[in-house]
Chains A and B, each alone.
Chain A
Amino acid sequence: MSETHEASVVRENLWMKALRTAGVPLLSVVLAMIIGSIIIKASGMDPLLAWGALLKGAFGSPDKWAAGNFREFGDTIGRATPLAFAGLALAFGFRANLFNIGANGQLLLGSITAAWLGLVLAGLPGVLSIPMILIGSALAGAAWAFIPAILKAKVGAHEVITTMMFSWIGLYLTSWIIAAPLKDAAGNSQTPMLAQSVWLPTFDKILPGLFRTPVNAHLGFVIAVVLAVVVWWVLKRTTLGYGVRAVGFNQWAAQNGGISIAKTTVYALCISGALAGLAGASEVLGTNHRMFDEVSAGSGFGFTGIAVALLAKSHPVAVVFSALLFGALSAGAGMMQLTANVSDRIIMIVQALIIFFVGAETVITWFIKRRQKRALEEKGATDVA
């Protein structure tokens, strides 16, 4: 009697687990789009036309694909690339129970480092210069996370405030570097154009047979995918990753187990910063080939990275898919604005709703835990009997 009961509990848990892993995020996206549609409709515009245009802008159409024109797919992947790096940055932090809300600042530092090193190393062949630039940007991002990390570890200053402050400081610092020492010769608020040797090659250069027209998707996406697997492996299989997960799961238990909370916190936030720095580098080397002066620190890839990581529930590999979804939303937004006259800000609203619904999943988890507890209690009662 007790065995069949146990089996049913296990079976139910597997089903619930599957639902929790994929079902809730998907449901969240659908719900968010429905509410987004209501908002569009209420503003006197046509939601179906809007989403249709968005799909077309994000993926193109079959006749284009047949001609080897994957421009829209390329846009989606291009937009997804910095989001994947930023999502990995946030996800790594979340695993250690750290909220790197100011990842955008580390991203900007990564960008400016790439824009500078790209100029300095222009004479070297790409196989040498590009890895050096990427490492430099990662270090810059890590450095920008270092002070908030130390403050968190030593005086307990909350990283939500300190990284946010550093995000604004980073915005003004890079803005000054772009305006003064690294100013473009033409005098615009941008750094000089980088030499082609340091550009990350686009997919049409890598696979000219498949992509017969130019696309924006570049090698950075492949790097992001590889990095996602590496981050997954680090979290799963290394001592550092074990420490990060232990601290994230239960600080006091981790400390009792001999893991230094302070050290793990500093490592985790700096690695998160390094990943954010790479987001900036990939954007400079792969897409813009220079750095523009950011208008606002309140938006940007670093902030979308929050939504990317939450939707992926901080699983590194899931981050890639989550980034592709947000990349598609972002790539299609232009077409949506053009065709259906719907502001691209609707994407931001949908993004907020997705975060909200994924976050509300705790409710489901809570119910499951309660049911498990009750099941266990019942089982305990029957065992005693």
Chain B
Amino acid sequence: MWLSFFTPDLFASAIRMATPLALAAIGGTICERSGVVNIALEGMMLVGAFFGVVVTLATNNVLLGVGAAIVAGVLLSAIHAFASVTLRMDQVVSGTALNILALGLTGFLMEVIYGHPGATNGIQHIIGPVFNFPTGGTGVLATIWTWIDQIVFSYTPIVYLAIIIAIVAQWAMFHTRWGLRLRALGEHPRAADTVGIRVQAGRYSAVLISGALAGLAGANLTLEQVGVYSDNMTSGRGFIALAANIFGRWTPAGSYLASLLFGFAEALEIRMQSFQSVIHVPVQFFLALPYVLVVIVLAGFMGRAVGPAAVGKPYEKE
């Protein structure tokens, strides 16, 4: 039984599930490093997921769909940037408003465009895996190859893209001038301002990047995973991503690894559901598993996590 439980697909599924979390979490990391809290990641993922489907259905071009998802995320994040940087609004309040706006707007437009609530129409073809190597056969070598193929070569483009983004962002954040400036914005904006870094412009760009990444995360959900947008389908992933960012200690690579943990919990949840006849535990307990894990991680592993010093505080030029 355990052999059929821990299949290579379980681990591949973990990496697939981790992808939207990781993209949003890296967005959250960049945003918070600049000193802006972004609890609207959830809403940005939602509009990304929704407009990805809408544009794909309208143009029959899934690439345009991915582009639309990113643009939608960026547009929503632009409102957040304007509110929290220019208006110096409470960033949590702005984020909450945008989450509700995203839920309302997607639900509203869904009915206007498709004439029914609950879900959009489905797209014809979801984005397939990048590689398609032959598998099968018997023997040890064939089994090893199946594992390698499943865990390394079975993914859709955005899954690989997320790994590349994590590596590039990690490098950029700690080894480039951009990264140094970004971190200065979140730690000591006054000092950054004094040495001539443009605080507001820097924060704007960080918030917009987080919107683009969250939008891309939404595209991964609908255009690569399920092929249809259903109401509130992110189900708290934006908040799990924020937890992953904290668990990853405000680093892109850490965010990715923490997302892997939560992604594994999701994969486990799905796998356990198919073993329900053997395990005899109600399905709701599996569904709650990822959320429980987040709480345990925040409670135990964390110790006292210290974020950027100036996060959440609007900067006022003297």
Contacts and interface: CB of A to CB of B under 8 A. Distances in A.
Interface in B85-103: 87-90, 92-94, 96-101, 103
Given A169-B292, A352-B104, A297 B305 contact: no
Contacts of A165: 236, 239-240, 243, 291-292, 294-295
Interface stretch (A124-132, A175-183, A217-225, A316-324): A175-183
B236 A348 contact: no
A355 B43 CA distance: 15
B101 A353 contact: yes
Contacts of B89: 359-360, 362-363
A231 interface: no
Nearest to B86: A363
B87 A362 contact: yes
B302 A345 contact: no
B288 interface: yes
A166 interface: yes
Contacts of A161: 239, 242-243, 246, 294, 298
Contacts, number: 148
A213 interface: no
Interface stretch (A59-67, A72-80, A115-123, A149-157): A149-157
A310 B285 CA distance: 34
By size class, the interface of chain B is 35 or more
Contacts of B96: 101, 306, 355
Interface SS of chain A: helix, strand, loop or mixed?
helix
A296 B42 CA distance: 14
A299 interface: yes
Given A172-B284, A179-B282, A157 B299 contact: yes
B97 A356 contact: yes
Nearest to A355: B97
A173 B284 contact: yes
A380 interface: no
A294 B92 CA distance: 26
A366 B88 contact: yes
A168 B108 contact: no
B230 to A, nearest CB: 10
A162 B101 contact: no
Interface string A335-363: 00000000101111101110110011011
B108 A343 contact: yes
Interface of B: 39, 83, 87-90, 92-94, 96-101, 103-105, 107-109, 111-112, 117, 231-232, 235-236, 239-240, 242-243, 246, 282, 284-285, 287-288, 291-292, 294-295, 298-299, 302-305
Given A161-B242, A353-B97, 4 more contacts: A164-B236, A173-B288, A346-B104, A348-B103
